[in-house]
């Protein structure tokens, strides 16, 4: 009796593996899907090729006036001619180095924080959160160390967007944490103050807050006490954003099991030690997506300041679109703004993902 020999394994049919198999399984599973696939592919190819032609091959890059643009494709000359204004706003030309120094310090801090092996990271983050904003303020505003004073109405463009966003981010996180702790506190006064604050500021739109700060507030103040418009806007943004931040932080705090607090108390730790050594480090890690989400929203919300006459990146591009010498290039302008916003938001999003991976202690 011959021994049973199974046939050798056959390779799967060629049309179920590889690229062909993948396409059959995902793109051409039936007549309707096949038609849709072909139509979508056609649309995408057509759209992309049109966009590349418009934005790249037919576009004009060199020149200094609108006459240098042929009008067939995009006119990037407009963006290039105005680039320094878009980035530095109305800052006096001979003082622009101050903004560059600020950008440089900022970039250096971020890079140092992102590289795994930087020594003394704690001090660098402290500097980024406390020292850097102070230095930037004096760099931008001037008035000391022989720096010429540049008033805030000359700030604008990307610089202003970053200033508002960074101030909002740096200030709203600690205030938000305190408010979240306050809302979970056992002390009735602190708890009710936190709840009223959070619910009030979450209940009004940011645009209303900015409008109140810029239009109504000056009417109620005596004529001498004139505060800066940018200052008013920034305080409004911070107030608003910290309420949102508080709720994100509270969400994170609720995810930490009660046993953690009880264990900390059993060890004899005080309330603040429990919070800062045990609860918050765990909670903040969980909250990274939520916090970054709020930051990104804040970054995009900064462009609302244009309704109160501050020239952030979007507003300065819009005002450039109104220059009689450059009328009619709004598409290029808005694409530029969208691209800049995308770079920053995408950067933040990637950084938060990297941070999550690094801090992951496998609770997933």
Partner 1 sequence: MKKQLVSAVAALGLVAVSTASLAATLDDVKKKGFVQCGVSTGLPGFSNPDDKGNWTGLDVDVCRAVAAATLGDASKVKYIPLNAKERFTALQSGEVDMLSRNTTWTLTRDGSLGLNFAGVNYYDGQGFMVSKELGVKSAKELDGAAVCIQAGTTTELNLADYFRELGMKYQPVVFDTSDQTVQGFEAGRCDVLTSDQSQLYALRIKLSKPDSAMVLPEVISKEPLGPVVRQGDDQWFNIVKWSMFALVTAEELGVTTSNVDQMKSSTNPNVQRLLGTEAGQGKNLGLDDTWAYNIVKQVGNYGEMFERNVGSGSALGISRGLNALWTKGGLQYAPPIR
The residues binding partner 1 (CB under 8 A) are 71, 81-82, 85, 89-91, 93, 151, 153, 211, 214-216, 218-224, 226, 229, 306-309, 311, 315-316, 318-325, 327-328, 330
Q: Give whichever of 52 and 327 is closer to partner 1, judged by the CB atom.
A: 327
Least distance (Å) from partner 1 to the CB of residue 254? 39
Instruction: Provide the CA 361 distance to its chain's centre, in angstroms.
Output: 26
* Apex 261 CA angle, 260 and 265, nearest 5: 120
Q: Give whichever of 90 and 127 is closer to partner 1, judged by the CB atom.
A: 90
> What size, in residues, is the chain?
364
Q: Give whichever of 49 and 325 is closer to partner 1, judged by the CB atom.
A: 325
Least distance (Å) from partner 1 to the CB of residue 67? 11
Q: Are 317 and 245 in contact (CB under 8 A)?
A: no
Least distance (Å) from partner 1 to the CB of residue 123? 38
Q: Are 291 and 353 in contact (CB under 8 A)?
A: no
Q: Give whichever of 179 and 317 is closer to partner 1, judged by the CB atom.
A: 317
Distance CA 16, CA 29 (A): 12
Q: Give whichever of 99 and 308 is closer to partner 1, judged by the CB atom.
A: 308
User: CA dihedral defined by 115, 119, 125, 126, rounded to 10 degrees?
Assistant: -170
Least distance (Å) from partner 1 to the CB of residue 304? 12
Q: Give whichever of 107 and 327 is closer to partner 1, judged by the CB atom.
A: 327
Q: Give whichever of 37 and 318 is closer to partner 1, judged by the CB atom.
A: 318
Q: Give whichever of 33 and 227 is closer to partner 1, judged by the CB atom.
A: 227
Residue 75 β-bridge partners: 60
Q: Are 150 and 309 in contact (CB under 8 A)?
A: no
Residue 312 β-bridge partners: 157
Least distance (Å) from partner 1 to the CB of residue 223? 4
Q: Give whichever of 328 and 347 is closer to partner 1, judged by the CB atom.
A: 328
Alpha helices, H only, the chain:
18-26, 31-52, 77-88, 96-114, 121-126, 132-141, 157-183, 188-203, 206-211, 217-220, 229-254, 258-266, 271-273, 280-301, 313-321, 330-359
Distance CA 28, CA 315 (A): 47
Quick one: tokens of 28?
């051409």
Least distance (Å) from partner 1 to the CB of residue 58? 14
Least distance (Å) from partner 1 to the CB of residue 149? 13
Least distance (Å) from partner 1 to the CB of residue 165? 21
Least distance (Å) from partner 1 to the CB of residue 83? 10
Q: How far is CA 11 from CA 4, 18, 62, 200, 332, in A?
A: 21, 12, 58, 67, 54
Distance CA 173, CA 295 (A): 10
């Amino acid at each position: 009796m011959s021994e049973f020999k199974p046939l050798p394994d056959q390779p799967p049919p060629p049309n179920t593996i590889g690229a062909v198999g993948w396409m059959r399984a995902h793109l051409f599973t039936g007549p309707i899907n096949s038609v849709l696939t072909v139509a979508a592919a056609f649309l995408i190819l057509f759209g992309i090729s049109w966009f590349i032609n418009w934005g790249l091959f037919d576009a004009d890059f060199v020149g200094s006036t609108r006459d240098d643009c042929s009008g067939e494709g995009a006119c990037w000359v407009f963006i290039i001619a105005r680039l320094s204004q878009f980035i530095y706003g109305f800052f006096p030309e001979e003082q622009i180095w101050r903004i560059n120094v600020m950008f440089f310090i900022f970039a250096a801090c971020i890079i140092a924080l992102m590289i795994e092996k930087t020594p003394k990271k704690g001090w660098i983050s402290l500097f980024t959160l406390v020292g850097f904003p102070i230095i930037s303020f004096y760099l931008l505003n001037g008035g000391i160390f022989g720096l010429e004073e540049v008033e805030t109405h000359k700030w604008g463009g990307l610089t202003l967007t970053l200033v508002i966003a960074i101030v909002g981010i740096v200030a709203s996180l600690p205030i938000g944490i305190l408010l979240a702790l306050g809302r979970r506190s056992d002390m009735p006064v602190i708890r009710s103050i936190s709840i009223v604050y959070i619910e009030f500021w979450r209940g009004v739109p940011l645009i209303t807050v900015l409008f109140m700060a810029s239009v109504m507030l000056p009417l109620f103040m005596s004529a001498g006490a004139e505060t800066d418009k940018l200052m008013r806007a920034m305080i409004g943004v911070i107030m608003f954003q910290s309420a949102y931040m508080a709720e994100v932080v509270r969400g994170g705090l609720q995810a930490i099991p009660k046993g953690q607090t009880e264990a900390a108390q059993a060890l004899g730790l005080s309330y603040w030690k429990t919070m800062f050594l045990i609860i918050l480090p765990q909670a903040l890690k969980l909250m990274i997506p939520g916090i970054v989400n709020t930051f990104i929203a804040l970054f995009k919300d900064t462009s609302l300041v244009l309704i109160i006459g501050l020239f952030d990146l979007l507003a300065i591009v819009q005002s450039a679109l109104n220059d009689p010498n450059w009328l009619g290039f709004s598409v290029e302008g808005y694409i530029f703004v969208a691209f800049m916003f995308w770079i920053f938001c995408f950067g933040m999003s990637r950084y938060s993902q990297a941070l999550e991976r690094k801090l992951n202690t496998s609770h997933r």
